[in-house]
Amino acid sequence: MFASAATAPSSAAGFNAEFAKAVADGLTLKRQKTLPPSWLYDEVGSALFEVITVLPEYGVTRAEAALLDRAAGEIIRASGRPAHIVELGSGTGTKTRHILKAAAHHHTVQYAPIDISAAALANCVHALGDVMNLSIEPIAATYLEGIDTAVAARKPGESILLLFLGSTIGNFTRTEAASFLRQLSKRMQPGDYLLLGADLVKSRARLISAYDDPIGVTAAFNLNLLARINRELEGHFDMSLFTHEARYNERYSRIEMHLRSRVDQQVSIEALDLTVPFRKDETIWTESSHKFRAEELPCVGRRSGWACVRQWVDGEWGFAETLFRKSK
Ligand SMILES: C[S@@+](CC[C@H](N)C(=O)[O-])C[C@H]1O[C@@H](n2cnc3c(N)ncnc32)[C@H](O)[C@@H]1O
**3-state SS track over the chain:** CEECHHHCCCCCCCCCHHHHHHHHHHHCCCCCEECCHHHHCCHHHHHHHHHHCCCCCCHHHHHHHHHHHHHHHHHHHHCCCCCEEEEECCCCCCCHHHHHHHHCCCCCEEEEEEECCHHHHHHHHHHHCCCCCEEECCEECCHHHHHHHHHHCCCCCCCEEEEECCCHHHHCCHHHHHHHHHHHHHHCCCCCEEEEEEEECCCHHHHHHHHCCCCCHHHHHHHHHHHHHHHHHCECCCHHHEEEEEEEECCCCEEEEEEEECCCEEEEEHHHCEEEEECCCCEEEEEEEECECCCHHHHHHHHCCEEEEEEEEECCCCEEEEEEEECC
- In ligand 1, the atom with minimum distance to the C-alpha of 38 is 16
Burial of 158 (0-12, 13-18, 19+ CB in 10 A): middle
- Give residue-wise pLDDT tens across range 244-277: 999 999 999 999 999 999 999 999 999 999 999 9
pLDDT for 1 beyond 60: no
Residue 92 Cβ inside 6 Å of ligand 1? The answer reads no
Burial 242-254 (b: 16+ CB within 10 A, else e): bbbbbbbeeeebb
Q: Which residues contact 224 (CB under 8 A, 6 or more apart)?
A: 40, 42, 44, 45, 48
Residue 45 Cβ inside 6 Å of ligand 1? The answer reads no
pLDDT for 11 beyond 50: no
- Give residue-wise pLDDT tens across range 25-51: 999 999 999 999 999 999 999 999 999
33 forms beta bridges with: 284
- Atom 17 (ligand 1) nearest CA: 38
pLDDT for 195 beyond 70: yes
162 forms beta bridges with: 86, 194
Residue 170 Cβ inside 6 Å of ligand 1? The answer reads no
- In ligand 1, the atom with minimum distance to the C-alpha of 64 is 8
Pick the more confident residue, 327 or 87: 87
- Atom 12 (ligand 1) nearest CA: 89
Instruction: Give the closest residue to 1 by CA, choosing from 159, 102, 201, 146.
Output: 146
The angle formed by the CA atoms of residues 139, 142 and 146, to the nearest 5 degrees, is 45
CA distance linking residue 24 with residue 32, whole number of Å: 13
Phi, psi (rounded to 5 degrees) for 305: 90, 20
Mean pLDDT of all residues in the chain?
95
CA distance linking residue 273 with residue 240, whole number of Å: 23
For residue 25, report the distance from its CA to the centre of ligand 1, in Å. 22
| Helices 59-78 & 204-211 angle (0-180, nearest 10) | 100
pLDDT for 142 beyond 90: yes
For residue 244, report the distance from its CA to the centre of ligand 1, in Å. 20
CA distance linking residue 263 with residue 62, whole number of Å: 38
pLDDT-based confidence at residue 12 (cuts at 50, 70, 90): very low
CA distance linking residue 171 with residue 155, whole number of Å: 32
For residue 52, report the distance from its CA to the centre of ligand 1, in Å. 14
Look at residue 3 in the predicted model and tell me its pLDDT: 41
Look at residue 106 in the predicted model and tell me its pLDDT: 84
C-alpha dist (Å) from residue 303 to 63, 162, 174, 196, 233: 27, 18, 12, 15, 41
pLDDT for 14 beyond 80: no
Q: Which residues contact 176 (CB under 8 A, 6 or more apart)?
A: none
